[in-house]
Amino acid sequence: MVLWDKKYRTILLVSVILLLFLITAAGLIFFKSKIMPSARGPNIILIVIHCLRADHVGYFGYTRNTTPYLDELAKSGVVFKNAYSNAPWTKPSVVSMLTSLLPNEHGAVNYNDALPDEYVTLGEIMGKLGYETLFFNGGNPWIKQKFNIPQGFRIQYHAINRAEELTDDFLSAIQETNKKFFAYLHYMDAHVPYHQNRDTLMFTTSKNDDFVPGNITYSKVEQSMRSGKLTAQAKEYLEALYDGQVRYVDMNIHRVMNFLKEQGLLDNTLIIITSDHGEEFWDHGNFEHGHSLYNELLKVPLIITGRNLTHKKIDDNIRLIDIAPTVVELAGQATTSYDFSGKSLMGLMEGKKEEEQRPVFAMGTFYNKENFCYIDSGNFKVILNTGVQTGKLNRLLPGNQGKPEKEFYNLDVDPLEKAGVLTDSEKLELEKKLEAQMRLPEKFDKKEVSIDPELEDKLRTLGYLQ
């Protein structure tokens, strides 16, 4: 009897322990489902090809074979033929992309501005929707943690890497995650100094001792312009190097897609490919970016490809602020829950006709005076060149001299923005629309950070600082 009682007590104790374990496990599952939801949508990758202007992409009719793989994707994906950045350089553009706020609403428009913590980024949103969030930056100093741009991304990678190395590290990271993921991938190769790779010299047989790949800065080019030594051949050579770098990034995007296919992930992954801004090659007298609001700096490529998408070419003007609400809707979440200034592209992708057009507003120059621009639904464009230089770096750019305070263009008949042909009434209407956009206030107080010596050295290497 004693033995039976002891055996009974042991069985009872084990049963109680097992029951407690099951209750705890059920509680953890319930807690996880409430606090850490599983992602409902597909994997999403946002690829940004730094300073890639739209008219240097093959499917836009560019004569050089810079983007053979993107051209293939364009045959099956959704192509936006008139996509615009909201700023002409990286920091304000990427912040607009990740917050869906216009530059004057988020305020991170100058070199020492940082994104205040109060703003909600796409990384934070997607993390709360159950996604693993990854931010892979190929060495752009303006989107590092110092400026709080990757706020909310759990896994972050910031290194000066060529596209091939960045791709290797990114593919290793997504192979290790067992969750659905949202990834931001920023390729820097089309930015000077044009580190030499297998494709750098693809489009040129020339050699220029003044501009050696891997040792080119904007300052060197500018000094050559000022001295009158920058020849037409040198300009052609620099543009050819840029095109070779674009080709190199294109090849690495192909590698990403092949990997997704090999791993069985491609059927459940959507890929968005765009640029943060363009690059000028003396279209209006200058080189590089950050100094004007002409279309060589604002018009960017945009392709969305992946599962359940049918091929479309969309002519409507859209903005990079439309990317965040699109990602959120692709993830299965209503966009009305968030304070977005942009609008999801899903309706256009599904072939729905929009009643309201999407006006384009851009600002946030890096050098000299602040500029603003507005493009309406009729493709009429106004640029306001102000006298305000607060927070800007001072650089006397040759092509910026002698501009009028206001410039007006009809982009349908003058896509290169060379001659203003609008009537007085059309100009007045554009000015009113621009002024309304300019009056939008910042959502939170501006945050500024100091530029430390290490960052100064990096910026000087890239030619931003003299």
pLDDT at res. 131? 97
E strands, 275-416, in order: 280-281, 287-288, 299-300, 302-306, 312-319, 360-363, 371-375, 380-385, 406-410
pLDDT at res. 12? 54
> For residue 290, is it within any domain?
yes
pLDDT at res. 8? 53
- Does 1 score more than 50 pLDDT? no
> For residue 167, is it within any domain?
yes
Q: Which of 339, 358, 377 is the last residue of a domain?
A: 358
Q: Which tens digit of pLDDT belongs to each residue from 215-272?
A: 998 888 988 998 889 999 999 999 999 999 999 999 999 999 999 999 999 999 999 9
> For residue 300, is it within any domain?
yes
- Does 126 score more than 70 pLDDT? yes
- Does 298 score more than 60 pLDDT? yes
- Does 311 score more than 60 pLDDT? yes
Confidence of residue 454 (pLDDT cuts 50, 70, 90): confident
Sign of CA dihedral 322, 328, 331, 332: negative
pLDDT at res. 28? 40
Closest Cα partner for 273 from 320, 333, 331? 320
Domain hosting residue 214, numbered range: 43-358
Instruction: Count structural domains, the chain.
Output: 2
> Do both 22 and 93 map to the same domain?
no
> Do both 22 and 92 map to the same domain?
no
Confidence of residue 27 (pLDDT cuts 50, 70, 90): very low
> Do both 26 and 142 map to the same domain?
no
User: Residue 232 burial by CB count (10 A; 0-12/13-18/19+): exposed, middle or buried?
Assistant: exposed
Sign of CA dihedral 45, 51, 55, 57: negative
| Cis previous bond, 415, omega within 30 | no
* Beta-carbon count within 10 A of 254 CB: 16
Sheet of 406-410: strand order equals: 360-363, 371-375, 380-385, 406-410
In one-letter notation, the amino acid at residue 38 is S
**Interatomic CA distance for residues 275 and 287, integer angstroms:** 18
In one-letter notation, the amino acid at residue 331 is A
Mean pLDDT throughout 432-437?
97
> Do both 266 and 220 map to the same domain?
yes
pLDDT at res. 404? 87
> For residue 403, is it within any domain?
no
Entry pTM: 0.91
E strands, 99-243, in order: 113-114, 132-137, 155-158, 181-187
- Is the Cβ–Cβ distance between 363 and 110 less than 8 Å? no
> Do both 91 and 171 map to the same domain?
yes
pLDDT at res. 457? 82
- Does 81 score more than 70 pLDDT? yes
Confidence of residue 387 (pLDDT cuts 50, 70, 90): confident
Percent of the chain past pLDDT 90, that is, above it, reads: 75
Lowest mean pLDDT among 3-7, 47-51, 127-131, 416-420: 3-7
Closest Cα partner for 56 from 329, 278, 332, 220? 278
pLDDT at res. 3? 45
Mean pLDDT throughout 89-100?
98
Q: What is the DSSP letter of 122?
A: H
pLDDT at res. 32? 41
Q: 243: number of CA atoms within 13 Å, CB side?
A: 21
CA distances, 442 to each of 103, 361, 372, 439 (Å): 9, 15, 16, 9
> Do both 4 and 88 map to the same domain?
no
Give the residue ranges of DSSP H helices in 129-231. 163-176, 218-226
- Does 34 score more than 60 pLDDT? no
> For residue 66, is it within any domain?
yes
Q: Which of 327, 358, 389 is the last residue of a domain?
A: 358
Confidence of residue 15 (pLDDT cuts 50, 70, 90): low
Mean pLDDT throughout 445-463?
84
- Does 150 score more than 80 pLDDT? yes
> Do both 22 and 129 map to the same domain?
no
Sign of CA dihedral 391, 397, 400, 402: positive
> Do both 240 and 264 map to the same domain?
yes
Q: Which of 358, 391, 425 is the last residue of a domain?
A: 358
What dihedral do alpha carbons 338, 343, 349, 353 form, nearest 10°? Answer: 130
Q: Which two tokens stand for residue 83?
A: 């996509």
pLDDT at res. 29? 41
- For residue 301, give the CATH number of its domain: 3.40.720.10
* Beta-carbon count within 10 A of 160 CB: 16
Closest Cα partner for 90 from 187, 206, 4, 200? 187
Q: What is the DSSP letter of 393?
A: B
> For residue 400, is it within any domain?
no
pLDDT at res. 26? 45
Q: Which tens digit of pLDDT belongs to each residue from 353-367?
A: 888 889 999 999 998
> For residue 424, is it within any domain?
no
Q: Which helix (H) or strand (E) holds 236?
A: helix 232-262
The beta-carbon contacts of 211-218 under 8 Å, at least 24 apart in sequence, are: 211/237, 211/238, 211/241, 213/241, 216/192, 216/241, 217/192, 217/193, 217/461, 217/462, 217/463, 218/192, 218/287, 218/288, 218/462, 218/463, 218/464
pLDDT at res. 4? 45
Confidence of residue 129 (pLDDT cuts 50, 70, 90): very high
> Do both 53 and 177 map to the same domain?
yes
Mean pLDDT throughout 175-199?
95
**Interatomic CA distance for residues 345 and 324, integer angstroms:** 10
Over the chain, what is the mean pLDDT? 90
- Is the Cβ–Cβ distance between 276 and 97 less than 8 Å? yes
For residue 438, the SS3 value is helix
> Do both 135 and 3 map to the same domain?
no
- Does 146 score more than 50 pLDDT? yes
pLDDT at res. 451? 86
For residue 325, the SS3 value is helix
> For residue 378, is it within any domain?
no
> Do both 204 and 332 map to the same domain?
yes
- Is the Cβ–Cβ distance between 195 and 187 less than 8 Å? no
In one-letter notation, the amino acid at residue 161 is N
Q: What is the DSSP letter of 233?
A: H
User: Residue 402 burial by CB count (10 A; 0-12/13-18/19+): exposed, middle or buried?
Assistant: exposed
CA distances, 233 to each of 59, 107, 201, 296 (Å): 26, 40, 15, 21
**Interatomic CA distance for residues 256 and 185, integer angstroms:** 11
> Do both 93 and 8 map to the same domain?
no
